[in-house]
Chains A and B, each alone.
Chain A
């Protein structure tokens, strides 16, 4: 679209500059009000917030059914939000309140005082065998590990070792669904969504607690 703007456009815009007084703080409080209103009117399909953690900034996103996504910085939070917009709904706002419990439980986990999560999860991003694998992962106790082969066996498909790897690599709820406890049969770490350094740190944290 070509904008047919008046020749005096820039000058008039600067004339109107007083309208910008206190604009940024106003927008910040209006954004918070929008998040609250949207929540109250059930117009918010996905609420998210970003929290700090020892393994970098974490994106936490929730639908009205539960936590739907946890994402590492490495995954690029903007891309993750775009994927959520495509897969679930573009009605997404930064709205911290819905993620209060998740943020608190993750804090406790990183402090070493929480060994399992008590959160409602929304598994709508996974299907079939992958979902089956993810549902099994919380049974690997805190502080221990299982091999991809063991998980495949436990999930009822002993030959699906590679598919277990894929399920872990595409886990939409890392940390909460502990795919970091799945390691290679030779004892090496294997890959991780948040990077192998993060996986090492998590296993060290759990071993120390």
Chain B
């Protein structure tokens, strides 16, 4: 950023265009694809309200992730009050990915991670926050956040490799 440019805040439209995708990825990772839209809407409406008070030159992405973090927690809480846990969630993934390509397995594996691991993976890998900042959101130490992120990634990898080895042994031979 050139000197003098930090004084003025950009139109919020530019913020939505630049950060909208990252925030949606984060919400999808934390909440699953179907609840993510509501959390995204809550996040950006709250951000729009608070935008004039954001200090000029602040890290807008980190600010948005902080808001998204809170809104996702609201949804997690509302969800646990509302929904009964089921062993086999209804299949609603038809619009997402091609069956058999591992996409559904990955999405499924993400939703099965413990909340802290989903958050750590989302904030560190998708939003690019350093683990110090992730820890500030989650509470606990940076090291604990790093461990949650690493554990999450490990589980995701093994879920996908289990899927792939299944695919290898299948008669389709399309992988």
- Chain B 148-175 against A: per-residue CB contact (8 Å), 1 yes, 0 no? 0110010011001000000000000000
Interface residues of A in 7-52 (CB under 8 A from B): 8-9, 12-13, 15-16, 18-24, 26-27, 30-31, 33-34, 37-38, 41, 43-44, 46, 48
Q: How far is the CA of A21 from the CA of B107 in the complex (A)?
A: 10
Q: How far is the CA of A34 from the CA of B46 in the complex (A)?
A: 10
Q: How far is the CA of A94 from the CA of B20 in the complex (A)?
A: 14
Q: Does A177 contact B (CB under 8 A)?
A: no
Q: Does A86 contact B (CB under 8 A)?
A: yes
| Band of interface residues on A | 35 or more
The interface residues of chain B, by DSSP majority, are classed as: helix
Q: Does A4 contact B (CB under 8 A)?
A: yes
Residues of chain B lying within 8 A (CB to CB) of residue A84:
11
Residues of chain A lying within 8 A (CB to CB) of residue B153:
8, 12, 15
Residues of chain A lying within 8 A (CB to CB) of residue B157:
15
The answer to whether B24 and A34 have CB atoms under 8 Å apart is no
The answer to whether A41 and B45 have CB atoms under 8 Å apart is yes
Residues of chain A lying within 8 A (CB to CB) of residue B8:
82, 85-86
A38 to chain B, nearest CB (A): 6
Q: Does B95 contact A (CB under 8 A)?
A: yes
In the assembled complex, 8 residue pairs joining A and B whose CB atoms fall closer than 8 Å, in A order, are A16-B156, A19-B28, A21-B96, A23-B25, A30-B44, A33-B41, A85-B10, A94-B13
